[in-house]
Structure 1
């Protein structure tokens, strides 16, 4: 049980420090092409591997540039994390593009379109009552 809490604490610290390094530490212009945020960090139980999920706001070309920049800065980030977290061995880092926010936006857009279509047709949605006509 204590091992699980330690992994969670390390993941939270990695997220915090990586966010700080994205803002102030990485000088690669590719990383600053779009609005970048870290959505989640997963750390293995032995603290040797780390997956950092990144959300990038922008066009697909910008996302590709940001991911290329992050891959290029991976060694620098690993070294800095090892120093800042005072870990004997910093975990191997793998960056993954998180598309969850985009998928959520797409679903909301589709729901909005569906609602407009229902309004145009005059359909009544479930759970709503028709007004009484005296």
Structure 2
């Protein structure tokens, strides 16, 4: 199965859906922050490994604790995934912290700030922002 095949795309989507359900509803670890979401999942074509990108809305301590909690519950998560998703092999899951949403929000704030200053006439002709 090639990496971008239709079958691999469907497997990624199904694992993504079930993994989000397991993390949201079945894990009782207090280290896992309530505002945790699975942003994307990449299952290897041989179904042996899986990269799960996790986004946490919180401070650095909450992010670190959430990833630690998910790594300690990896066996349970994999077992539940094997029960719900019918695959030849249940992939070994690696949790990766995804900070792209926070980066996008901070960039959006910076763009809004510059456009607000531009609308107020505070941007000089040479492109520098006056204070």
Same fold (TM over 0.5): yes
Contact 1:34 1:63 in 2 (8 A): no
**Which residue does 1:62 correspond to in 2?**
62
Task: Normalising by structure 1, report the TM-score.
Answer: 0.83
Larger Rg belongs to: 1
Q: Report the alpha carbon displacement of residue 17 of structure 1 after superposing the two structures with TM.
A: 0.8
- Relative to its length, the structure with more helix (as a share) is 1
- 1:67-78 alignment runs, 5 A limit: 67-78=67-78
- Aligned residue pairs, count: 124
SS of the equivalent of 1:52 reads strand
Structure 1, unpaired ranges of 5+: 125-134
Over residues 11-41 of structure 1, what are the superposed CA-to-partner deviations in whole Å (9 max), with x where a residue is unaligned? Answer: 111111111111221111111x240111100
Q: Report the alpha carbon displacement of residue 98 of structure 1 after superposing the two structures with TM.
A: 0.9
What's the Cα RMSD here? 2.1
Task: Normalising by structure 2, report the TM-score.
Answer: 0.84
**Which residue does 1:22 correspond to in 2?**
23
